[in-house]
Amino acid sequence: MAFETWLAFFVACWAISLSPGAGAIASMSCGLQYGFQRGYWNAIGLQLGLILQIAVVAAGLGAVLATSSLAFSLIKWFGVAYLVWLAVRQWRAQLMTLEPAAPRLIGRPLSLLLRGFLVNASNPKAIVFILAVLPQFLDPRQPLLEQYLAMGATMVLVDLIVMAGYTGLASRVLRLLRSPRQQRLMNRTFAGLFVVGAALLASVRRGAA
């Protein structure tokens, strides 16, 4: 892959990662509830889901997903249901006593990892989007595997940095939430954002990627 091509792809990755989506909402939600160190496991899970999506596209299965209504619908509605479930959990999230020495909620790393993975893996539009974007930067005269590996590593690195920002920002905001009313409002705001994400995903059609 030529350096100029990689640089253009690198810039595109920042634009893609910075755009608000289910991954950003999940990262901020985990940062609020668990703090940065625990909450960042969710971001790592997001990258595992992203790697799966890139592998699906590289294996040619993305084209099947783009043309199969049944496959697309099954993954889409699973994603919708999962986002709604996250919204319900966020709505019912435990309120914390935020004294200076009070500990944050302790999330299990594996659970947070799985949570992030499912958020990305259950979004078929992301797979179709990757299917539409990645080939524009591929040189068919060069080995494809190396190019997919380079682009995959670039996407994951950029997204890790962006999600670290979302998680860390939310973790700092947590210190400002002292009253139960403030915490409840924040929990319900994120619950609403998860519902909005589910509604947007539900409205997606195969041709809309």
pLDDT > 60? residue 102: no
- Of 4-8, 28-32, 66-70, 78-82, the range with the lowest mean pLDDT is 66-70
- In the chain, % of residues over pLDDT 70: 81
Sign of torsion over alpha carbons 76, 80, 81, 86: positive
Q: Which residue has the tokens 């059609």?
A: 205
**End-to-end CA separation in angstroms for the chain:** 25
Q: What integer is the mean pLDDT of 176-195? A: 76
More confident residue, 179 or 164: 164
Residue-wise pLDDT for 154-175, tens only, equals: 999 999 999 999 899 888 876 6
The per-residue pLDDT for 113 is 93
Q: Which residue has the tokens 């590996």?
A: 149
Binned at pLDDT 50, 70 and 90, residue 62 comes out as low
Sign of torsion over alpha carbons 17, 50, 194, 28: negative
CB contact at 8 A, 120 and 49:
yes
The per-residue pLDDT for 156 is 94
pTM tops 0.75 = no
The alpha helices in the chain, defined as continuous H runs, are 3-18, 22-58, 61-67, 69-91, 109-121, 124-133, 144-173, 180-202
Residue-wise pLDDT for 1-27, tens only, equals: 778 888 888 888 887 787 667 888 889
The per-residue pLDDT for 198 is 78
